[in-house]
Amino acid sequence: MDANILVVDDESEIADLVTVYLRGEGFTVFPCGTGTQALEIVNREHIDLAVLDIMLPDISGTTLCAEIRRTHQFPILMLTAKSEDTDKIAGLTVGADDYMTKPFSPLELVARVKAQLRRYTSYNGGERREGEELNIHGLTINRSTHQCWLYDELLNLTPIEFDILWLLCANQGKVISAEELFETVWGEKYLDRNNTVMVHIRRLREKLREPGRDPKFIKTVWGVGYKVE
């Protein structure tokens, strides 16, 4: 798999370790230690995926993630030294696709990088089934083009957001649990206290301009899951 990967971590030992493992898989890696350097690389090179540490010496990883998301939709994997949900939720809220807590297994990181790249490649021109389009209350989502329109506005969705919305729309009227959403979209085992799905649903609702108390598209069925009516 050929891809350009940005690795941002001010701990040189970790950055070097991640770089060695990723290059061993054939990836081109751009390592750096600050958010400023990272933005320079993003603006100069074609990046396919970024691995960002939360704690950086100049700006936070979440700020860097938000800045990247202003103009780019490639996958972003966050690294955090803390196990608390706050750092994870902060990263997911500003546009990260996945996260890992330090210390982590380099082999697991490589596996997650590959999984995100497979999804991103599919999103941007891989094999797709033609003619798959759903229309629900002014929302049009097309799986063959991976585009989503709200009335006349093209929504800027990440691959993960698109996959979640497609799964819900394709099962219109059926309640999908957070566990099923996570295991279908992320392809990993769902663990208790995993807020990943909740945060992505929140981001989707914001992009759909959903009212907080009575969302039009994505409904919460408390204690069960989510559905599109």
Which of 225 and 118 is assigned the larger pLDDT?
225
Would the pTM count as exceeding 0.85? no
Which of 118 and 170 is assigned the larger pLDDT?
170
Residue 101 has what pLDDT?
87
Alpha-carbon gap, residue 61 to 57, rounded angstroms: 10
Helix-strand-coil split of the chain, %, nearest 5 = 40, 20, 40
Is pLDDT above 90 for 123? no
- The chain-wide mean pLDDT, for the chain, equals 86
Q: What burial class does residue 160 get, using C-beta atoms within 10 Å of its C-beta: 0-12 exposed, 13-18 middle, 19+ buried?
A: buried
pLDDT 10s digits, 57-105: 999 999 999 999 988 888 999 998 766 666 667 777 788 888 888 888 9
Residue 84 has what pLDDT?
60
Helices (H), the chain: 12-24, 35-44, 61-69, 85-93, 106-123, 159-170, 178-185, 196-207
Per-residue confidence band for 189, with pLDDT thresholds at 50, 70 and 90:
confident
